[in-house]
Amino acid sequence: MSDITLVDLTLFGCPMHYIKAREALKHIDIEESVDLLVNTGDAVDEVFNSLSQDGQECAITSSEGLTTTIRVRRKQ
């Protein structure tokens, strides 16, 4: 099992945070995971819902103050 990479998307707004998240998924194998650090609020819903609609498996693993971590397992 490999270490899970953390990708900081807090500097990006819509739609760049989603585009950067998709880009990060291209660099991992199917069934591997990446953690995405996003700004708490609308960004969480936008990234989570968009990646879920793309067929990826998403779960919120932590929410601390201004940031939330979404773990995404690449499914396709």
Pairing of strands 67-73, 57-64: antiparallel
Given a cut of 70, whether residue 2 has pLDDT beyond it is no
| Strand partners for 57 | 73
Please give the model's pTM, rounded to 2 decimal places. Answer: 0.93
Residue (of 62, 76, 65, 75) closest to 6 by Cα position: 62
Structure confidence by residue, pLDDT tens digits, 6-27? 999 999 999 999 999 999 999 9
Residue 7, Cβ neighbours under 10 Å: how many? 18
What residues pair up with 35 in beta bridges, in sequence order?
Answer: 6, 71
**List of domains in the chain:** 5-73 (3.30.110.40)
